Amino acid sequence: MKIELLSNEIFNFNCLSLENKPIGIFQGLFFISKEEREHVIQIANMIWRKILKKSRVKNFLGYIRFDFVPKVNEISKIGKRIFEIDFEIVGIYEVNVHSPECACAITALHKAIPKLKMLQPNPAYLISKAIKKTFNDTITIIFVPGKGTVKKCFSYYFYDELSKFLDIRWMSEEEAMKFSKSEILWRWGDARINGPSEYSPKFLRFLLELESKGIVFNTVPIYEDLGNKIYLMPDDDKEWNKLVGKNFLLNLENLEIAIKNREKLVLKPLTGSSGNEIIFGINVSQDQWEKILKEKLRLGYGLYGLFEARWLPSIEIDEKNKIVFDFNSTFWAVNEKLDYLYSVIRVDELKRYNKRLVINVTQGGGFAGACCEEE
């Protein structure tokens, strides 16, 4: 992988904001080689097949993102603002099967910094191309945005770009519930039966009833919440276990292990989103940790997981600037078949990351946009 900085200033905090909270846009480009891309695709396919098998979901159609943990093996500076990085994928945080915000965030980024538009992939074009490959040029799509922070701020950018390539109609929940068999519904937001949702219970029930009436992109799975962190647990597969880590569910049987291994664990709600309720054991005292675990166990037995803490790699740009990054690849999924679209790298300042230990755009984290790919 190669990084090329576009400015002496690493981050620009003056271009985009979420509800008046500035986002630090990384002023640079990441380039991944064909070999690196193929390796990521191979890993994603293995993970996706495993999740589908564990979840027992028979049908899935839509746009998804794999949130990977990278490891940097070697860094070399090959120019004034160019770095060569030897990296590998060593873990997986989750698979976002609801509506990865990166698509509308990248579109907003292109609007804010036009010179990036010619250099980075266009998510709307790539997703539209995949949709047309699955169906045809004459389909009509109903687009129902959710109420999440990124959706509210950036969905219009994404919708406008999609409109250049697709026959797509922006609708409210009420309008969309007049669904026709000749149309395809695309809900663009988190829709969980047993967790945080950006839609009303009435609309969620409507989505679940649509199986016999039409097609929904990224629908709510009928049986279980596909992509839920509960599926990222170790089993008898060594390759799988290396990626997911030493994870386990929070229950009475595992409570003592969880208490003793505070500094190595992260507590996560299994149906959570946007980094909410995530607690790193290293950030609290032993007494606090034990109290939190017992309280969460009392509130929701089996609803929380303990995940092995994985720290993101850092890169020293210069004496004053150190950054961290993660690596996220997006795909168009038709059941087991994955079509690669593009990759996203989120970036933050090391000093900010050390305080929060997560990179999350909705919480003000840096954003780098899409990777460029070298053939």
Q: What is the CATH number of the domain that holds 274?
A: 3.30.1490
222 is a domain residue: yes
Could you give the 3-state DSSP secondary structure of residue 373?
strand
Of 143-152, 266-275, 279-288, the range with the highest mean pLDDT is 279-288
Whole-number pLDDT of residue 72:
94
- Cα 56 to Cα 228: distance, rounded to the nearest angstrom: 13
Q: Are residues 41 and 98 in the same domain?
A: yes
Whole-number pLDDT of residue 301:
57
Contact 332, 134 (CB under 8 A): yes
Q: Are residues 207 and 123 in the same domain?
A: yes
Contact 339, 329 (CB under 8 A): no
Whole-number pLDDT of residue 76:
93
234 is a domain residue: no
Q: What average pLDDT does range 93-119 have in this prediction?
A: 84
- Quick check: 210 pLDDT over 90? no
Q: Which of 99-113, 173-187, 251-265, 266-280 has the lowest mean pLDDT?
A: 266-280
Whole-number pLDDT of residue 318:
82
Whole-number pLDDT of residue 223:
52
Whole-number pLDDT of residue 158:
94
Residue 279 domain boundaries: 246-308
Q: Are residues 164 and 198 in the same domain?
A: yes
Residue where a domain stops, chosen among 293, 308, 323 = 308
Q: Which residue has the higher pLDDT, 328 or 361?
A: 328
Whole-number pLDDT of residue 88:
93
- Cα 35 to Cα 45: distance, rounded to the nearest angstrom: 15
82 is a domain residue: yes
Q: Are residues 268 and 168 in the same domain?
A: no
Q: Are residues 213 and 276 in the same domain?
A: no
Instruction: Give, in degrees to the nearest 5, the angle at Cα 50 between 327 and 302.
Output: 90
Q: What average pLDDT does range 254-262 have in this prediction?
A: 91
| Reported confidence tier of residue 32, pLDDT bands at 50, 70, 90 | very high
Q: Are residues 125 and 195 in the same domain?
A: yes
Residue where a domain stops, chosen among 279, 308, 337 = 308
Instruction: Single out the residue of 154, 218, 81 nearest to residue 369, CA to CA.
Output: 154
Q: What is the DSSP letter of 62?
A: E
What tokens were used for 169? 């109609």
237 is a domain residue: no
Whole-number pLDDT of residue 137:
77
Q: Which residue has the higher pLDDT, 241 or 111?
A: 241
| Reported confidence tier of residue 274, pLDDT bands at 50, 70, 90 | low
Residue where a domain stops, chosen among 264, 288, 308 = 308
Give the H or E element holding residue 332.
Answer: strand 327-334
Number of domains in the chain: 2
Q: Are residues 290 and 198 in the same domain?
A: no
Whole-number pLDDT of residue 165:
95
Q: Are residues 174 and 258 in the same domain?
A: no
106 is a domain residue: yes
Whole-number pLDDT of residue 99:
84
- Quick check: 271 pLDDT over 80? no
Mean pLDDT estimate for the chain: 86
Could you give the 3-state DSSP secondary structure of residue 226?
coil
Q: Are residues 98 and 41 in the same domain?
A: yes
| Reported confidence tier of residue 242, pLDDT bands at 50, 70, 90 | very high
Q: Are residues 250 and 320 in the same domain?
A: no
Q: Are residues 110 and 49 in the same domain?
A: yes
What tokens were used for 285? 């005292």
pTM over 0.85: yes
- Quick check: 58 pLDDT over 80? no
Q: Are residues 201 and 135 in the same domain?
A: yes
240 is a domain residue: no
25 is a domain residue: yes
Q: 299, exposed or middle or buried, with CB in 10 Å at 0-12, 13-18, 19+?
A: exposed
